[in-house]
């Protein structure tokens, strides 16, 4: 499942992020790359232990916690602390697949990367290029969202960022370990949940709402991995 989630951050929150990122010290983006990704990755990144990265990451995690759509789609068990990257001057990230497991720095906590997320912090007209390209069974998806909007996609997907030929592309990226490991099962649960929510809004007293809600939770109970 590939899903765009609008307005994770407000305009004021995006502006706050931009001010902090403008003053931050950036390092080579390969500080978090595996050997294969390092060959394809040319960008800059905030150090994971940076106070700016930690503070902005906490703000993003709080915002995610207020998004019912994010929760319904991701069913998060663990979220890797958000990271931040910057592309400009022709920088890009070639085709790659994200590592299956990430260890949170300074801890023994491991996150299985079921889902990848990119939260855009630059407006589309501020830069040329910089599209996130995600390949899946349904074809090639080109993604370039408004600042504050997020895209969620399977971490097993081949994806890349095209060269930024003008301006600067700022984004936050992170990974989610879902309570439901399988993407197909997660997609079915999401579709069922959205259908139940729509039915409940249109016919709140209809007995089928309770029945379908029970089906959702019984499937979740069968598939959940916590």
**In sequence order, what DSSP letters do the residues of 6-62 get, joined into one string?**
--SS-HHHHHHHHHHHHHSPPEEGGGG--HHHHHHEE-EE--TT-HHHHHHHHHHHH
Is 84 found in the same domain as 42? yes
Q: How many domains does the chain have?
A: 2
Residue 174 and residue 79 in contact, taking contact as beta carbons nearer than 8 Å: yes
Task: Report if pTM > 0.75.
Answer: yes
Mean pLDDT (whole number) for 188-192: 98
The answer on pLDDT for 101 being more than 80 is yes
Is 144 found in the same domain as 66? yes
Sequence ranges of the binding site: 96, 98, 159, 169
Is 117 found in the same domain as 13? yes
pLDDT value of position 68: 96
- What are the beta bridge partners of residue 171? 85, 120
Sequence ranges of the binding site for Fe cation: 96, 98, 159
Sequence ranges of the binding site for 2-oxoglutarate: 169
Is 128 found in the same domain as 80? yes
Is 161 found in the same domain as 199? no
Per-residue model confidence as pLDDT tens digits over 214-224: 999 999 999 99
* Model confidence band, residue 37 (pLDDT cutoffs 50, 70, 90): low
Who contacts 11 (Cβ-Cβ below 8 Å, separation ≥6)?
A: 147, 148
Mark which of 178, 193, 215 sits at the end of a domain.
178
- Angle, to 10 degrees, between the axis of helix 207-223 and the axis of helix 183-202? 160
pLDDT value of position 38: 63
* Model confidence band, residue 40 (pLDDT cutoffs 50, 70, 90): confident
- What are the beta bridge partners of residue 41? 93
CATH number assigned to the domain comprising residue 155: 2.60.120.620
pLDDT value of position 34: 58
The answer on pLDDT for 33 being more than 60 is no
CATH number assigned to the domain comprising residue 195: 4.10.860
The answer on pLDDT for 69 being more than 60 is yes
> Could you tell me the residue range of the domain that residue 96 belongs to?
3-178
- 213 vs 194: CA distance, rounded Å: 11
Is 100 found in the same domain as 75? yes
- What are the beta bridge partners of residue 139? 136
Is 203 found in the same domain as 140? no
Is 216 found in the same domain as 158? no
């Amino acid at each position: 499942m590939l899903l765009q989630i609008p307005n994770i951050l407000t305009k004021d929150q995006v502006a706050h992020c931009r001010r902090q990122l403008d003053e931050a010290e950036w390092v080579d983006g390969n500080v978090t790359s595996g050997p294969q990704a390092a060959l394809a990755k040319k960008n800059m990144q905030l150090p994971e232990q940076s106070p700016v990265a930690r503070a902005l990451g906490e703000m993003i995690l709080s915002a995610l916690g207020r998004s019912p759509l994010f929760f319904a789609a991701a069913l998060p068990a663990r979220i890797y602390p958000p990271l931040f990257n910057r592309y400009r001057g022709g920088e890009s990230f070639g085709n790659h697949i994200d590592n299956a497991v990430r260890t949170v720095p300074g801890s023994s906590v491991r996150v299985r990367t079921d889902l990848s997320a990119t939260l855009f912090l630059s407006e589309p007209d501020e830069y040329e290029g910089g599209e996130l390209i995600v390949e899946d069974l349904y074809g090639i998806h080109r993604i370039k969202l408004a600042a504050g909007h997020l895209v969620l996609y399977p971490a097993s997907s081949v994806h890349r960022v095209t060269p930024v030929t003008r301006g600067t592309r700022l984004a936050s990226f992170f990974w989610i370990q879902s309570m439901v490991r399988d993407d197909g099962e997660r997609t079915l649960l999401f579709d069922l949940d959205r259908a139940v929510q729509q039915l409940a809004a249109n016919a709140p007293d209809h007995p089928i709402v309770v029945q379908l809600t029970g089906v959702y939770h019984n499937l979740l109970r069968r598939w959940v991995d916590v």
